[in-house]
Structure 1
């Protein structure tokens, strides 16, 4: 009988991907709607400026801050946006794409060029306008609009392009935040800054408290915001400063297993104590960074960013304004910086890094598709509008720059859509990993069954993956069904981030194979997935009768490490990033991998 968790996992992944795409489309649609509403309000009613100029008083004890609604949105609400950005940056730097140097160096370098080249083009074009110092307007890509635009365009096989653009956007955001902190902060008051820094130091220690961390994080974050605001530093940076101190980590196996134990106890004896313990353990098994991203994400995308657009995009598009914008070097500097600068900077940097061998593009990602993504990166909305308000004092120049941002965003979207659409028609992308890269080799591969069997099932997996351990029973059922007509091939794909012991376990399997005991070692590894430290592996070697000294030497040998790495390299070139992954014959199997489904796929393969 198939495991329900096993059979629903691929379907769950597909549902999550579809849900994320719908969420991104909705966020971009709300942002666009708010932008259009702001422009309509500003042009049809004189109350726009009056409304956002309404005074607001914020007080904390005897300390009070006077703001208008416009600055309340830009300085206070946008701190939540930067908090969400900071959480994403911390996750990517700690456990995400930016931890893999070979994969991260291409989008990171492209992002750096996408900061410098647009700024330089803006400076050249706007040099005589008196606003050349506002180059920060063109350095940032609007992540919400970017992923929403990609979801709307829906190019074929967008996954790798999306990851590339999100990684690029993270580095882009780091650069934009640094520019605000360094170049667009005037006078700094030491006393309030010291208070903010002290609060940040306390925040860094909160992670060590056993409970009550959430309210303390919230209270100290308010102190940081007030401190930075009074110090003269743009207060939105409080959001990213706090976020970078929030811990992030992969779920630990022990915590996940504890959730299962408490859930089982509650099922057997339902009572409030077990329910509360299970709920608390379930929540705490996920790092607070990821919990906060899920909590804040919808509010930022569906509330804060649309309100920001409503407060900032209200440009009066009357004849005189459009006439001034058409002849304004500031307007054209913004358009040239975002549209031309982003396209050239990102594309050329990607070509240089790839051709010099400094980095590699992920499988299925071509220079042409990167060019389409680079064009979309010219959609510079949120931070661009924010920096206009910080860097430019003249209201007329502000309007000219806002017109440039709006025009550039429309042109960048149309250009990116055109490039990706043309590529999809003329150079359709073959999804990486659809065909087995390296053929079955009986002299090298580990397999069970006749080498010349008419049916072949290839599995990429790792010994710490719980789904792989369940799949072993499924493979046995499939093998029993086909008998001598099938050969099953095992290849290593240790997932280093979620399964830190998987590579060592794969080496143990290879070291045991050198003494003809790989099957016995695999059974020990599957039975003890939560005990895969080096001493554990030596104990298993002793229990199955291996020469332990030789096993230990082989475990650390370069030959064994290379044998595992070869399988890993094949998987990487095919863009395999989940376990288990199956190939029926040489074709990748998509969908559920319970025994009945795989048997049906293998039968179809035999008929074909």
Structure 2
């Protein structure tokens, strides 16, 4: 009897563990859970950096490891920014490729509004920053407020927008994906001091190999994982920010399944990697980057110091003006039209939501002021404050819109006579019936 029970317990235990693992992975694929983990990591970092254990936090960030012979003896914070965020941008690259091939960006008529909105939403915050820093301050931080955090923005929208039109999420997702591509281009072009062309050529050569493997329908992680690691290492060695390797490989993934495939390789890989990105890569980066010493003088500098004020106004005002006005102008003077499901107050609230620049803005803060650690920390404080205030303002506006749509939904589903058919569909019939009776 005992001999029979042992295998039975083992048999039942494994599916239970597998089910729990699948449950956690599925949860991490949702925007709300990923955004919550990001927020928790940021709060822990800020609290940790402002307690008596702040030295331990700094020691953790500065802890170095890696093979020095390969020039990869990096601090833990650099590993997070260059390595873990490459996973995040890999997923972003897949999303962008899918939008370009089978999504909204495939149709120019549908793509023009979110694409123009993304472009204006990057240009206007930079102009706000330059305007504040004209005649003084530092022009180097202009790129900090240009980015929108996909995970955080979609998480806030998912929490507060249970009745908002699905077209609003699609608009925000497309805008944020294009925004991420713009951020990668900014990092690659403006924050690359010197280029090792031999290493860069090697990275591009292996990216061609990656593309050929996809085109030849080669399957198996044992091909792609080592290849991806070498591409990342060569990109890092080239001097171009290593996250560019992530988005490049994401863009090379095949997003259209063959007839004998249930899902495309891109969809399959994204399904596997997204929990790693949302549950590990982005929260660890936030933990190691968001730890800003917040004090009275630091908070005062955010609102009075030109570079930090430029970041704050760029996120809170520049994003709103750029996205909303840009979208309105395109809809007003071209044939492009806003979705029938959306109203302009929805776009206004979404424009506020795009002011959440958390992950990429923190990364650019570290790249923009490498020679001034104090200004780097002040810029991060401005990003945190600007993102929180943008999220709060967007929550107020979109919550009002959400309540409006909830009332409309309730009115459409009202069934006073209890016949199982909503009264809104019986209005004409009831009126005709009453007319006949009269």
Tell me which interval the TM-score lies in, with the shorter structure as reference length. 0.7 to 0.9
SS in 1 for 2:253: coil
Please give the residue correspondences for 1:25-174 in structure 2 after superposition, counting only pairs within 5 Å: 25-44=32-51, 45=53, 46-58=55-67, 63-154=70-161, 156-174=163-181
Query: Highest Rg: 1 or 2?
Result: 1
Higher helix proportion: 2
Q: Any conservation in 1 of the 2:156–2:391 contact (CA below 8 Å)?
A: yes
Distance in 2 (CA, whole Å) between partners of 1:213 and 1:358 is 46
Counterparts in 2 of 1:3-402, with a 5 A limit? 23-44=30-51, 45=53, 46-58=55-67, 63-154=70-161, 156-209=163-216, 211-249=218-256, 251-252=257-258, 254-255=259-260, 284-393=261-370, 394-402=372-380
Q: Residue 72 of structure 2 aligns to a residue in which SS?
A: strand
Taking structure 1 as the reference length, the TM-score comes to 0.61
Partner in structure 2 of residue 482 of structure 1: none
State the match for 2:6 in structure 1: none
Kindly provide the CA deviation profile for residues 112-145 of structure 1, in whole angstroms up to 9, marking residues without a partner as x: 1101001110111133455312211111110101
Range 237-246 or range 218-227, more displaced: 218-227
Maintained 8 Å contact 1:138/1:334: yes
Q: Does the 8 Å contact 1:113/1:346 carry over to 2?
A: yes
Task: Provide the secondary structure at the position in 2 that maps to 1:156.
Answer: coil
Give the distance between the partners of 2:218 and 2:329, measured in 1 at CA: 50
Question: Distance in 1 between the 2:57 and 2:130 partners?
Answer: 31
Unmatched tracts of structure 2, length 5 or more: 1-25, 414-420, 427-432
Shift of 1:411: 1.0
Residue of 372, 383, 391 corresponding to 1:405: 383
Tell me if structure 2 keeps the 8 A contact 1:106–1:353: yes
Secondary structure of 1:248's counterpart equals: coil
Would you say the 8 A contact 1:39–1:313 is kept in 2?
A: yes
Q: Please report how far the alpha carbon of residue 98 of structure 1 lies from its aligned counterpart in structure 2 after TM superposition.
A: 0.8
Question: Partner residue of 1:419?
Answer: 397
Name the structure, 1 or 2, with higher relative contact order (CA <8 Å, separation 6+): 2
RMSD: 2.6
Distance 1:329 1:430 in 2: 45
Q: Would you say the 8 A contact 2:165–2:341 is kept in 1?
A: no
Q: Gapped runs of 5+ residues in structure 1?
A: 1-18, 256-283, 436-582, 589-606
What is the CA-CA distance between 1:429 and the residue it aligns to?
A: 7.9
TM-score of the pair, normalised by structure 2: 0.84
Between the two proteins, the alignment pairs up a number of residues equal to: 391
Q: Sort the Cα spacing of 1:399 and 1:21 in 2 relative to 1 into closer, same or farther, 3 A.
A: closer
Does the 8 A contact of 1:206 with 1:213 survive in 2?
no
